[in-house]
Structure 1
Amino acid sequence: MKTPPCPCGSGKPLAVCCQPVLAGTKPAASAEALMRSRYTAFALGDARWLLASWHASTRPADLDPGDEPRPKWIGLEIRCHRNVDADHAEVEFVARCRVGGRARRLHETSRFVREDGRWYYVDGDIHD
């Protein structure tokens, strides 16, 4: 049986790309790898991983979208990955989705921090 491709767009099978990170069996090797795993978690509806990979200083209590329709994530483009120093990095990306049949895109530069050898999403700046 062929394994599905990873939603993050790496071209690798999900089972060897983001799935081990989401399952907690392999830490994200870089801020970019964490960004890819977070996109995959959004695509798969894995709120548990999204919260676990969010830094405690900025993590919301939950990710309940209320009555909003759930987006269907359809593509991720990593534009730039930059290490600020050994424990801080930025990832610029464009994520595309459909909500209620309408196409949307999110262009953001996200900030990440590494603590105790593990990367966390901190926050980001959205571009127009």
Structure 2
Amino acid sequence: MKTLHFSPDAPCPCGQAAPYSRCCGRLHAAFEQSGALTAPDAQALMRSRYSAFVLDLTDYLRATWHPQTRPDTVAPNEAGLRWLGLEVKRHAVQDDTHATVEFVARSKLGGRAYRLHEISRFERIDGVWLYKDGDLK
């Protein structure tokens, strides 16, 4: 696992008003310490995954992927990639084990801006929310 080098008092990369240590940092720390995945809902998992992308926490990203769609490896960020922000547009719960989150994530690489707009599907398996897949908008 990658050791975190991010101030716990810094604003959380996911854009919530709480500092990292009281937002996505709690979920990342639980995983780093014991392998536990503790997101209380699909939106919290999606936000923690965005923060994991920002912080290049590839082990966390892979662990939070649904086993049916989980890649063998998750590549680290390209050199020079900067994540610029996350906007959650909608969180919809279909039932106790299925939810969707629509979001826009912005980044910049090599002077060029990128925008990822996705409706992501999540499934809860044995009490753990996992990212299954998504449709680009």
Name the TM-score, length of structure 2 as normaliser. Answer: 0.86
Identical positions, percent: 50
Moved over 3 A (4+): none
Task: Describe the SS at the equivalent of 1:21.
Answer: helix
Task: Describe the SS at the equivalent of 1:37.
Answer: helix
- Matching of residue 93 in structure 1 with residue 103 in structure 2: yes
User: How many residues align structurally?
Assistant: 126
* 1:79 equivalent among 82, 85, 89: 89
Cα offset, 1:71, TM superposition: 2.6
Cα deviations by residue, 1:76-102 (Å, 9 ceiling, x for unpaired): 000000001110000000000001121
Cα offset, 1:63, TM superposition: 1.5
* 1:23 equivalent among 25, 29, 36: 29
Matching of residues 1-128 of structure 1 within 5 Å: 3-24=9-30, 27-64=38-75, 68-69=78-79, 71-127=81-137
Residues 99 and 11 of structure 1: CA distance in aligned 2, closer, same or farther (over 3 Å): same
- Aligned partner letter, 2:83: W
Cα offset, 1:126, TM superposition: 0.4
| Aligned alpha-carbon RMSD (Å) | 1.9
Name the TM-score, length of structure 1 as normaliser. Answer: 0.92
| Structure 1, gaps ≥5 residues long | none
Cα offset, 1:24, TM superposition: 2.2
Residues 2 and 107 of structure 1: CA distance in aligned 2, closer, same or farther (over 3 Å): closer
- Paired with 2:57 and 2:68, the residues of 1 have a C-alpha distance of 21
